[in-house]
Amino acid sequence: MTDCCPRCAHESVRTLHSSPVPGVWDVLQCGRCLYTWRTSEPARRTRRDAYPEAFRLSSDDMANAAEVPTVPPLRSSGPSQKTGLTDG
């Protein structure tokens, strides 16, 4: 177990799922970088002190992350708020 996100050290971590066999593992998720891990994984994926430098994320990394694909400009006719779910 770890008290913070192994990847970005954020301290807000939530439980996304727990093992159907009680008590075997939990799936946790960081509230900031969304890193998701299972508590039964090796230390290199679950512990901040063992998490590889190459995969660590800082708040700067997240702030500067590129958009893929970029959000296009809205067409001049103006947006509609349809969900689009009803087209067939």
Partner 1 sequence: MAYDDLREFLSTLEKEGQLLRITEPVLPEPDLAAAANAAGRIGDDAPALWFDNVKGFTDARVALNVHGSWANHALALGLPKHTPVKEQVEEFARRWDAFPVAPERREDAPWREHTQEGDDVDLFSVLPLFRLNDGDGGFYLDKAAVVSRDPEDPGHFGKQNVGTYRLQVVDRNRLAIQPVPVHDIALHLRKAEEKGEDLPVAITLGNDPVMAIVAGMPMGYDQSEYEMAGALRGAPAPIATAPLTGFDVPWGSEVVIEGVIESRKRQIEGPFGEFTGHYSGGRRMPVIRIDRVSHRTNPVFESLYLGMPWTECDYLVGPNTCVPLLKQLRAEFPEVQAVNAMYTHGLLAVISTRKRYGGFAKAVAMRAMTTPHGLGYVSTVIMVDEDVDPFDLPQVMWAMSSKVNAAGDVMILPNLPVVELAPAAQPAGLTSKMIIDATTPVHPDQRGNFSTPTKDLPEAKDWAAKLQRLLSETRG
Q: Report the alpha-carbon distance of residue 31 to residue 84 in Å, rounded.
A: 29
Residues 14-33 that bind partner 1 (CB under 8 A): 16-17, 19-21, 24-25, 27, 29, 33
Shortest CB 3 distance to partner 1, Å: 19
Using the rule CB under 8 A, is 1 a contact of partner 1?
Answer: no
Q: Report the alpha-carbon distance of residue 1 to residue 43 in Å, rounded.
A: 9
Q: Report the alpha-carbon distance of residue 6 to residue 10 in Å, rounded.
A: 8
* Cβ 49 vs Cβ 29: under 8 Å: no
Residues 41-70 that bind partner 1 (CB under 8 A): 41-42, 44-45, 52, 54-55, 57, 61-62, 65-69
With 0-12 / 13-18 / 19 or more C-beta atoms within 10 angstroms meaning exposed / middle / buried, residue 51 is buried
* Contact positions vs partner 1 (CB under 8 A): 7, 16-17, 19-21, 24-25, 27, 29, 33-38, 40-42, 44-45, 52, 54-55, 57, 61-62, 65-69, 71-75, 77-85, 87-88
